Amino acid sequence: MIAAMNYFTLVCMKEDKEGLLDRLQSSGLVMLVQSPQAQPGASPTGEQVQRMERLMQQIKPYAPKRGMLSGLPEESVQALKQVAPEDVQAVQTMEQLLDTLDQCRRRKEELLQETAALAPWKGLDLTEKQLKEGLGYTTFRLGILPAGQWEELSSREGPLGYTQISRQGNRCYLLATAVDPADFSSLPDGWEPAAVPSYSGTPAKHLERLEQETARISARLEQLQQTLTSLAADEVLPARLTEQYRSVSQRESAPCFSTRETVLLEGWVPQKKRNQLEKLLNQTGLPYGLDCREPLPEEEPPTLLENSKLVGQFEGITNMFSVPNYREGDPNGIMAPWYWLIFGMMMGDVGYGLLMVVAIVLVKKFVKLGEEGVKLLNVMLYSSITTMLCGVIFGSYFGETWHPLLFSPMEDPVSMLLLTLLVGVAHIFTGLGVQIYRSIRSGKWLDALFDQVSWICLITGLGLAFFPATQIPGVVLAALGGLTILFTAGRHRKGFLSKAVGGLSGLYGITNYLSDILSYSRILALSLATGVVGMVMNMLAGMLQGSVLGWILSLLIYAVGHVFNLALSLLSAYVHDCRLQYIEFYGKFYEGGGTLFRPFAIDPHYLRLKKDGGN
């Protein structure tokens, strides 16, 4: 069901705003909204949230690796309300280390580039000054020449002398010598002037210094990485400070209308928590003014779902499609049993139902999951019951058929197809029944009769017409429903011709209903797929059971094959069951379009709140 809402306005003194928002945030009782006259508060702390999120990404390579199934760390509400100075100091240390690490990396990269550029000239026995200004009457040029030209060049006579400093691959690094600088105009074709980085002393001495500095920087980098790894071992620290800043930012940006002395806050509070809100405000000891009222007809209150523990696990399935509208009602109580039944029919195997129970219980015990993750697992856990029940009815045990109570889909697929179509008709009629109830409740009796009851009569009549014993009543019922649709589907249109076209168009809708009913044949398809794949795995394993090694391999095939089949079948059943609810079922009555009630509360992204709300 959907909880009744009240719209509240809260007035307080401007200096008391922070204290009241702090209590409201801790309680999670209300949802603040931005009224036309309100302005969202400025939040300088929002930049700190972004800064901390960047830090979390930077520190991730040094944090301990978390398993795929490990959940988020837990923290108490109290620890996230305010920014802790010790956390700020620790994070600043991390940031400083990261900055230093970045500087060291850049410097090491510069050193490596400089070393790579100077290494080919290590054998050059000239200082940089001698190379540029010459030595006595001799001037120098450095260049690179393809190795294939060196032998011919080394034996060439002329005003230029050449010395090979080094050779790397097919490139020779040469020193050209001349008495007259004008002679360098006769350098050979293919000569590429070399740009040598600045160095002190000889290249060999400079390279030695570069190697020493690179080694020192590398040692410093290793030390910094070890320190960061040690600090990052506390993976909660940056996440906790991020959420602390987020909580402060949330209070700073709370929408409000301010005057010189007062502040006005507006929003929604569940009606049954109205007294709790007043009690909370009284406990602050601060002056305030509170007014609560019923929603106005033109207002769209947020939706807060309040269902039993069993039905509540299925709420996420509906919310993925569309949140229930506040004034429409909650469909989960009707949808949940159908989802539960259809899921079991699609899986329909006792062995897989047992595996589902074992796997889900283990995951819930050893993995920390969020609220939505736990709900999804509970849906699967509840559905394991119908999976086993349908497995007994259809006699399916790990893909093998044994004493079915009704029939085996593998041996009698036609009976299974008829059963799935009957389930589909019942499912669709349930959706039409909900719409009939809503139409009658709103005083639209004729709409219920013409738009829903007529279709029930037509579809039921067509079904009965296939059986000789009920053929005549079926034809009469189908004709009654069809004529009702023909003469009433266009009743809201103007003009006789327009009404007639509307009636024919409405009657043509029978194709949509037949298509919807046939969609339930997917239950047969998935049931057969699960059984056939399981049977194939059993056959493959059985073919190897002629020796000890064969038995060992067959056990491996059993384990891997059935686990794979279970995972694939679970995914298929979940997706196709959702589709049947969204299209064939909700399409008959559900509008949705609501907005979830999101309380003004601490809502961490990188941590989980402790269950006790934690102090």
Backbone angles phi, psi at 155, to 5 degrees: -100, 0
What average pLDDT values come out for the chain (615 residues) when binned by 10 residues? Answer: 93 90 91 75 78 87 71 78 86 91 94 94 92 89 90 82 90 92 87 90 94 95 91 82 88 86 92 93 90 92 93 93 91 95 95 94 83 91 96 93 92 94 95 93 89 92 90 92 87 78 82 92 94 91 85 90 94 95 93 92 84 52
Question: What pLDDT score does 255 carry?
Answer: 86
Q: Which residues pair with 263 in a beta bridge?
A: 12, 258
pLDDT at 369: 78
**pLDDT score at 40:** 60
**Which candidate, 469, 345, 325, 357, places its Cα nearest to that of 407?**
345
Tokens of 527: 């049931």
- DSSP string of 116-135? HHHGGGTT----HHHHHH-B
Contact between residue 172 and residue 164 where contact means Cβ atoms under 8 Å apart? yes
- Closest listed residue to residue 144, CA positions, set 197, 185, 192, 196: 192
Under 8 Å between Cβ of 309 and 287: no
What's the confidence (pLDDT) of residue 614?
45
The token pair at 182 is: 């004008």
CA pair distance 615, 20, nearest whole angstrom: 19
Distance CA 536, CA 533 (A): 5
Asked if residues 610 and 76 have their Cβ atoms less than 8 Å apart, the reply is yes
- What does the longest C-alpha to C-alpha distance in the chain come to? 124
Token reading at 467? 């059986």
Nearest CA to 520 out of 338, 352, 349 is that of: 338
The span from the CA of 182 to the CA of 195, in Å, is: 20
Per the listing, tokens 């901390």 go with 52
C-alpha distance across the termini of the chain, in Å:
32
Pair type for strands 608-609 and 74-75: parallel
Q: Give the per-residue pLDDT at 613.
A: 47
In DSSP notation, 557-579 reads HHHHHHHHHHHHHHHHHHHHHHH
The pLDDT of residue 58 is 87
